[in-house]
Structure 1
């Protein structure tokens, strides 16, 4: 396997570059339905923080009025209350202040709870909607999108990036409103108590603003790089875990550990750059904030001790007011320092939202216009009319993607089926017709374009030129759901989902009852082995059906197609993983299944398709022969030679055929070496 260049750019970089104001878009597109919860959170946050500021103010009242000589009713916090409400004796004034402080703490805790409920509900609702909307968009994208994205990278968007949004919308947004209320509230109170000393206490604020601006500019690209490197780590781990059997059988554990170490080190280096900048910023921010506290203590303390205003200041400073200033300035230091944390979370969330919206704005070549007519299958007649197709415009083949394709070629029939010819066309001007109820087989050497021909019928890709019609209807002009409901596909990779055998058979036909399931399994020669499983049809098949053999997985996949009862059946190497005896049994069932429906079949074992009504022979994306089995044998062309290979008649093959096979093999090996 070739090594992958993990230093490539972020695979979502192109999408991210086109996204403007991603956080504003997030709040407007996904936040509007949940305005009530966030509004409750904001109002409760304001009230909770206002109550948090009250104890220090009441303490100033107690010091200056109860323990000093100031008039109780003339204290700043109390002038808003009717004088008749205020106590007149020192003892009653003391208890009034004590009860007011206790009440502010009690009422504040209630508002804190409501605030947390509002912001948590808001963030969780948006996180859920974003994740489900992103997944729904992703699964509806064309195959072109998945050709240059790895599973781990897409999982990183659905998991890590969405979680980053949740963290900001909950902790970050919550903290942002809290800090704004604290800074604005404390600033207002300080100016209310003593405007002159307030200028000293708040002097570091402009410096903090400028310092934060520089931090934001420097940290933003670093977080974008971190999000990209997380996707690469996930991709490598997902790739290796999926291929663990190959790793073990090839004795390449040390090699793969090295590759994981490489991508992990890349993530470490990228993340450490961001961390290094962040850990310098926060202490510096706290130091600047602390300057305001020290200045307040020095100037205010001198003012109280001397009894006269220092320097250009005028008037008197009461001890209680000075204590309130010290407490409020101390409370201001931590919010100022925390402001950096909020900016930090915002930058992470913005980098993640760029990737999310970049994915959601992805467009494909396949048209999905609303209102397209549904496909109406009458006889099942299929026509390929001068169809050509190439991957140009679908995907770019960079080194990393080529390496991935080489590693997963066995799992991707399209990639494994690319032609060996020098032409850029995968399918080159092919035309054929299949009458309703007939079976057409596609054969040819590896890379001839067989699987691609059928994937064009499924519209996993769209043709470049020509048309594919079903009963006269161009498949590109009918709705995709109606098209794919009419087609049953059994591929060479019999993918099973994590779940029970029954759940996998009924996948796509969810309303089937047990009797229908059993009949479908019998038709696929699967019922007997299913009965012998520990829990029969309720047996868990494991991740990707790992608890079943390849042949068992294929029979379950065939049973799934049988249960669907499609108008047109596509069999792409549907019996490639079963033994000869089981293949004979399955083939007998398939013959019954295909008797009255249009069927396409691809098989490297030519014996399984020799009874097809028409056999189309492909080479290099072109049709080189067509006709029934006996006629093709008599023509002594490519089909006859392929038949001879499988019949073991190697010595009787013409030298030209062998040389062409050697050239095809050499080109394939050269391409893999370059990759």
Structure 2
């Protein structure tokens, strides 16, 4: 499977529909975290203001206590409340500085709590909502998306938001408070020197705008390549047995190397832009400090330089130097904030693009399916992913308690027909009805609760055997689980496992054989006790003897229960009340086993293949089989 080209973002269509993703983020998720945000913002404001008190008190102490060039006074504090002695003034100064540090520590803690709490709350809600939305998408959405790409959204993109919501907004609040507060203090002390100290601000603004313009498409490219890399790694880890058995480790090494190099190139391109931008930004920020020191220092020992007028005290000069130094780092961080914002903007666009995906199956949650008899009717059903239909004009009825078998060559559309019953997809035209109720007009929960589905692609979740049998029927007791396992001919092998029903099956059930996994899956369906049963190659991974035992149990299970069965081994469905034969998405025959054999059509030829009567098959059938084998099918079997 090819890795996506670096410019090929599989979520481009979804992402392109999202406007103002960051604003939407705060509108939809920020309001529920108003308290945390308020604490973070207010604590940031107070903490940053407290950080400015020590340099101000230092400047006052130099001019009023050490050099005694001016009277000791504090703004907004009556002089009568202040000590008159030098020792008392010094003690008060030390106390104010110490108090500002202690209070600052408290408010810095509150600041961190507010920003972290809001960031964690929002990202948790977004991750859960994104996953919930993804679960409700139709299966056609997943047909051109890889697991690694989806994981990239749920993991990497959400983490990017967390960094911005915590570190980015935290730094932004600090920058705003520091710039405004320091600028106000500097202009209060000496407006002329303040203008000199703030010379870099417009330069930083222009330089940052240029950075945003350049970096935005680079992040878009990087987000696409990291999803492709995750998909390649996920595919290879899932297919490790095939890789080993095919001796293709070096080939896969090269493919992972290619995918990683695409991400490396895209990531390094963005990094190279950043590492050129940030030092330059810091150098520009440092210009303010150098100019302040140069002009202010000259002012102290030689008087006001050039067009500047008035005097500058040593204490005010120290305050200017200290605050300008404090201003440089937040201003240099401005680029980092923009960098995090751009990453978060790209990630949130992908997240909301997924949330806005129109492929969600519509359902009326207020109407539940009521199965009284179990009569299922396919009425002119047509479905396809694109313009070409996979199944077309499917029309048949299964009476209550009957078993309908779907037969046909690979790619005929058998599995698709049954997935439409479960509303894995919605029909393009026609209707599927259960006891007269259109499956599109009932809730998905009630529909799928009424249908037991055993797929040929058996999937077990990481956990115990017991948990996998009871999956979906979580209230079942141990006795019911064991009875279901016995009915599926699974109890004996489960009892022989190291921990019996409490044995861990491993990821995807890797510790069990294919036949064992299939029997656990059948036990899961038996425990559910549904009104309608769907068996999609339910015994494809078991040997003939086990198949015989399972078939005996399935005969008991399907008695008086409407059942659909797909089987390439035609011997397992020859007793079905109705057999529907599909070819190229259309029904070409229907009837009972003996009747279809007498007709000498496709079913009879397929039966002949399994009976080993190859030489007796018509040449036309063999040619059509060869063409079907060579053609790449777009849909499911």
Interval containing the TM-score (normalised by the shorter chain)? over 0.9
1:73–1:79 CA contact under 8 A, matched in 2: no
Q: How big is each residue's C-alpha offset from its partner over 1:300-324, in whole Å with a ceiling of 9 and x where there is no partner?
A: 1111101x32222221110000011
Q: Secondary structure, in 3 states, of the residue corresponding to 1:388?
A: strand
Match of 2:376 in 1: 382
1:72, 1:500 → 2: CA distance?
79
Q: Structure 1 residue 57 and structure 2 residue 51: aligned?
A: no
Match of 1:655 in 2: 619
Q: How big is each residue's C-alpha offset from its partner over 1:435-465, in whole Å with a ceiling of 9 and x where there is no partner?
A: 0000000001111111111011111111122
1:366 to partner: Cα distance: 3.1
Q: How big is each residue's C-alpha offset from its partner over 1:278-298, in whole Å with a ceiling of 9 and x where there is no partner?
A: 001111111111111111111
Out of 441, 447, 451, the residue aligned to residue 483 of structure 1 is: 447
| Cα 1:225/1:620, change in 2 over 3 Å | same
Match of 2:580 in 1: 616
2:136–2:360 CA contact under 8 A, matched in 1: no
Q: Secondary structure, in 3 states, of the residue corresponding to 1:383?
A: strand
1:552, 1:495 → 2: CA distance?
11
Q: Structure 1 residue 577 and structure 2 residue 538: aligned?
A: no
1:70, 1:171 → 2: CA distance?
43
1:638, 1:21 → 2: CA distance?
57
1:9 to partner: Cα distance: 1.3
1:370, 1:571 → 2: CA distance?
27
Match of 2:491 in 1: 527
Match of 1:217 in 2: 213
Any residues of structure 2 matched to 1:36-435 within 5 Å, and which?
36-74=35-73, 78-306=74-302, 308-364=303-359, 366-371=361-366, 373-392=367-386, 424-435=388-399
Any residues of structure 2 matched to 1:420-499 within 5 Å, and which?
424-499=388-463
2:620, 2:263 → 1: CA distance?
52
Q: Secondary structure, in 3 states, of the residue corresponding to 2:361?
A: coil
Match of 2:602 in 1: 638
Q: Secondary structure, in 3 states, of the residue corresponding to 2:406?
A: strand
Deviates more, 1:657-666 or 1:447-456: 657-666
1:668 to partner: Cα distance: 4.2
State the TM-score, normalized to the length of structure 2.
Answer: 0.98
Match of 2:26 in 1: 27
1:251, 1:473 → 2: CA distance?
53
1:86, 1:526 → 2: CA distance?
88
| Cα 1:276/1:8, change in 2 over 3 Å | closer
1:440–1:599 CA contact under 8 A, matched in 2: yes
1:499 to partner: Cα distance: 0.7
1:5 to partner: Cα distance: 4.6
Q: Secondary structure, in 3 states, of the residue corresponding to 1:429?
A: strand
1:6–1:263 CA contact under 8 A, matched in 2: no
1:367, 1:180 → 2: CA distance?
46
1:221 to partner: Cα distance: 1.4
2:7–2:224 CA contact under 8 A, matched in 1: no
Q: Secondary structure, in 3 states, of the residue corresponding to 2:32?
A: helix
1:5, 1:22 → 2: CA distance?
25
| Cα 1:4/1:337, change in 2 over 3 Å | closer
Deviates more, 1:472-481 or 1:231-240: 472-481
2:163, 2:223 → 1: CA distance?
15
Q: How big is each residue's C-alpha offset from its partner over 1:470-518, in whole Å with a ceiling of 9 and x where there is no partner?
A: 1111111111111111111000011001111111111111100000100
2:530, 2:7 → 1: CA distance?
43
Q: Secondary structure, in 3 states, of the residue corresponding to 2:418?
A: helix
1:345, 1:663 → 2: CA distance?
54
Deviates more, 1:546-555 or 1:469-478: 469-478
1:8 to partner: Cα distance: 5.2
Out of 541, 546, 554, the residue aligned to residue 518 of structure 2 is: 554
1:82, 1:522 → 2: CA distance?
90
1:389 to partner: Cα distance: 1.5
2:411, 2:441 → 1: CA distance?
29
Q: Secondary structure, in 3 states, of the residue corresponding to 1:379?
A: coil
1:628, 1:567 → 2: CA distance?
23
Query: What's the RMSD between the two structures over aligned residues?
Result: 1.4
1:450–1:602 CA contact under 8 A, matched in 2: yes
Count how many residue pairs are aligned between Structure 1 and Structure 2.
635
1:550, 1:362 → 2: CA distance?
35
1:369 to partner: Cα distance: 4.2
1:602, 1:369 → 2: CA distance?
30
Deviates more, 1:659-668 or 1:528-537: 659-668
2:403–2:564 CA contact under 8 A, matched in 1: yes
1:665 to partner: Cα distance: 2.1
Q: Secondary structure, in 3 states, of the residue corresponding to 1:79?
A: coil
1:198, 1:272 → 2: CA distance?
39
Q: How big is each residue's C-alpha offset from its partner over 1:245-289, in whole Å with a ceiling of 9 and x where there is no partner?
A: 111111111111111011111101101111111001111111111
Structure 2: gaps spanning 5 or more residues: none
Deviates more, 1:516-525 or 1:94-103: 94-103
2:3–2:259 CA contact under 8 A, matched in 1: no
2:538, 2:153 → 1: CA distance?
34
Q: Secondary structure, in 3 states, of the residue corresponding to 2:348?
A: helix
2:613, 2:632 → 1: CA distance?
24
1:143, 1:205 → 2: CA distance?
52
1:370 to partner: Cα distance: 4.6
2:156, 2:38 → 1: CA distance?
27
Structure 1 residue runs of 4 or more that deviate by more than 3 Å after TM superposition: 2-8, 71-74
1:69 to partner: Cα distance: 2.5
2:6, 2:224 → 1: CA distance?
10
2:148–2:234 CA contact under 8 A, matched in 1: yes
1:43 to partner: Cα distance: 0.5
Q: Secondary structure, in 3 states, of the residue corresponding to 1:631?
A: helix
1:61–1:72 CA contact under 8 A, matched in 2: no
Match of 1:406 in 2: none
